[in-house]
Chain A
Amino acid sequence: DTEVTQTPKHLVMGMTNKKSLKCEQHMGHRAMYWYKQKAKKPPELMFVYSYEKLSINESVPSRFSPECPNSSLLNLHLHALQPEDSALYLCASSGGTSGRATYNEQFFGPGTRLTVL
């Protein structure tokens, strides 16, 4: 299985809602990532988990809260978002066989298209 799955595919939420994005991989990868991608822009790194520990937080606002329950799952909890947070949220994973978890090809999921009203 060389696939990263993400649910839901689309999400519309109000600014007072709480929702979660989910990501799953069964490739035995030990590094997992969240990216945010606005239209016609490259993906921007948000968080990196390496061996289930948060290793990089790119100064993301606290209304985004990542969670890695186990080596196969990655969640992104959303609360009190703003309309400018509307974007495609991409999850990725990579093998962490070297000392640097990002030193390998990243496999991306299809993303969750988030709209904040």
Chain B
Amino acid sequence: GENVEQHPSTLSVQEGDSAVIKCTYSDSASNYFPWYKQELGKRPQLIIDIRSNVGEKKDQRIAVTLNKTAKHFSLHITETQPEDSAVYFCAAGLSGNTPLVFGKGTRLSVIA
């Protein structure tokens, strides 16, 4: 089955700097790659996703890149703000088949 590795497990950045979180997946058939943000004590919420027919997707300060050949995808947050502090989860899966498999999460701290 699918296996998703996520790095780093913790990340501290200065406010205004960029943050990058990387994930690798094992099943080359996977074609859907979402990212979820979980603030302290809250539920995970989708912030961005990408499908395998696209190499990059942006939404304001966040972007996701996908390299299907290398089987890895990354989350990029630019101009970080204190409200970006949270745990971020990547996930991978195959549409219409088995459910998503999540990475173990990255705790991002943005230091003002």
Pairing of A with B: no
